Amino acid sequence: MVNENGSVKKNRRGHEFPAVAAWLVVKAACLLLATAFLSGPLTAQSDSDELQRRIREQLRAGSGATTPSRAEPSRRPPEPGKVTPGTSGPVVRVLLDRYRGKKMVTLTAASSWTVRALSGTATGSLPAGTVIVTCADGGLVFNGMVRTAGAVVMVATDQAIERRPYRGQLALHPEGGAVTVVNHLPLEDYLCGVLPLEVSPAWAPEALKSMAVVARTYAVMQRQKARLPIADLDDTVNSQVYGGRWVEHPATTIAVRATAGMVLVRDDEPIWTFFHSTCGGRTASGADVFGGTSPACKSVACDWCKAGRHFAWETNLPRATVIAKLTPQLPKGFLDQPLIAVEAGRKWNCGRVAEMIFVNAAQVRAPLDMRIVRRELGWDVVKSQFVRIELAGEQVNFKGNGHGHGVGLCQWGAQGQGLAGRTVQEILSFYYNAVQLRPARPGKEW
């Protein structure tokens, strides 16, 4: 799910990694000035002289140094409707946050690993089975014996991290003494690991297709605009939640394949396809919530999401809790006087509450941005800005509709429309203004 702040984040994470032209292997760096690589089983390989011997043999055999990784994905644009997993479409780089900061990562595979330096063409291999990756002296260490100075890309059949399978390739970066894993894979395969975590695979096929197009377009935009040093997206709500091959479901995979390569464009360019769980009766204007980044996200009346469990909700919080959490956000000294009232203040044109008003015993009124209120009280506590607010005794009462920022596609609304027999084109045109659904433009990587 796109986060509440809109997810248009740049350089959010990561550090610049130095370009590495060759691998440095323990006590053998001098051998690797031209095209360094490693090869051969690493088990029982504690003798660095033996390691150097193997490297010399590989160098004499002339293998590896210029061999492209066998699973290097093509970067040709996908042919609509004919995407073969792992072989076509642009590649996305997904930072796997779930492993971030780990000092040790365990990889397993059914075949031997093809390994190459992320920078340069040096390649080698590691045996099938378990490979334990750690960090030392700013580099990576494999099975405690072989070391590289910089990031590598690994690929094998049925590859898994901590038993969790992933498609594509695994880029490993040494980062502050820990191993950071970035999954490089074709966009279409990435989407197969996103959709089941965003919507129910049991939903109507046209709703699933709509979500596939929206998630693809959003990923394309992040890939084009984010420009992170080592990744285009991450696997959390900051981008779109991604679970790898582990979470794939046939129904959502069919939706991805059925819309392969199709994106939403406006004025010949892909758009920020924001989306949310439930609008609660009317979607929010993208201009209101995120400023000028999403002109295609219009505010539209939507009662298609009535079946969503967050269509209408009510939350009561103790006055003391609200005061404790929001006092730091209010003017200094404002709550030296007792709080006597709270209410919804200014509204945007789309009807959502822009500010919550606090009134103290001196009749001073203090407005607070409703997004800050939601952030501090909890995005899942005050579920939307489509809300009425009042102080009822010792309770602050929030009575609202919908869940999420409300911009763009309403997921439960898409499901309602899908059940009613509306097509993916009809659903997307309902939520986005002046857009076309079309395949990637030849020659451009989206």
Judged by beta carbon, residue 142 or residue 432, the one nearer Zn ion is 432
Segment contacting Zn ion (CB under 5 A): 24-32, 294-302, 377-385, 419-427?
294-302
Query: What is the nearest approach in angstroms of Zn ion to the Cβ of residue 301?
Result: 9
Judged by beta carbon, residue 179 or residue 213, the one nearer Zn ion is 213
Judged by beta carbon, residue 183 or residue 417, the one nearer Zn ion is 417
Judged by beta carbon, residue 142 or residue 311, the one nearer Zn ion is 311
Mode of pairing for the β-strands spanning 91-95 and 233-234:
parallel
d(CA 60, CA 214): 51
The tokens describing 206, both together, are 């046209």
Query: What is the nearest approach in angstroms of Zn ion to the Cβ of residue 305?
Result: 3
Judged by beta carbon, residue 345 or residue 413, the one nearer Zn ion is 413
Build a one-symbol-per-residue string for 390-429: x at contacts with Zn ion by CB under 5 A, - elsewhere.
Answer: --------------------x--x----------------
Judged by beta carbon, residue 15 or residue 309, the one nearer Zn ion is 309
Segment contacting Zn ion (CB under 5 A): 136-144, 174-182, 277-285, 339-347?
277-285
The tokens describing 135, both together, are 């960090």
221 part of the interface to Zn ion, by CB under 5 A: no
Query: What is the nearest approach in angstroms of Zn ion to the Cβ of residue 278?
Result: 6
Of the candidate residues 94, 191, 302, 354, the single one contacting Zn ion (CB under 5 A): 302
95 part of the interface to Zn ion, by CB under 5 A: no
The tokens describing 34, both together, are 């031209």
Segment contacting Zn ion (CB under 5 A): 253-261, 271-279, 322-330, 418-426?
271-279
d(CA 89, CA 168): 12
Of the candidate residues 118, 140, 161, 279, the single one contacting Zn ion (CB under 5 A): 279
109 part of the interface to Zn ion, by CB under 5 A: no
Segment contacting Zn ion (CB under 5 A): 43-51, 242-250, 274-282, 316-324?
274-282
Of the candidate residues 105, 153, 233, 305, the single one contacting Zn ion (CB under 5 A): 305
Build a one-symbol-per-residue string for 358-397: x at contacts with Zn ion by CB under 5 A, - elsewhere.
Answer: ----------------------------------------
Query: What is the nearest approach in angstroms of Zn ion to the Cβ of residue 228?
Result: 32
Query: What is the nearest approach in angstroms of Zn ion to the Cβ of residue 300?
Result: 9
Segment contacting Zn ion (CB under 5 A): 151-159, 295-303, 345-353, 424-432?
295-303
Judged by beta carbon, residue 235 or residue 288, the one nearer Zn ion is 288
Nearest to 294 by CA among 314, 318, 266, 319: 266
Query: What is the nearest approach in angstroms of Zn ion to the Cβ of residue 403?
Result: 10
Q: Helix 411-419 crosses helix 205-225 at what angle (to 10 degrees)?
A: 150
Per rule CB under 5 A, count of chain residues that contact Zn ion: 5
Query: What is the nearest approach in angstroms of Zn ion to the Cβ of residue 207?
Result: 12
Query: What is the nearest approach in angstroms of Zn ion to the Cβ of residue 435?
Result: 18
Nearest to 163 by CA among 126, 114, 108: 108
Q: In terms of C-beta density within 10 A (0-12 exposed, 13-18 middle, 19 or more buried), how is residue 149 classed?
A: buried
C-beta separation of 401 from 390 below 8 A: no
146 part of the interface to Zn ion, by CB under 5 A: no
Binding site for Zn ion (CB under 5 A): 279, 302, 305, 410, 413
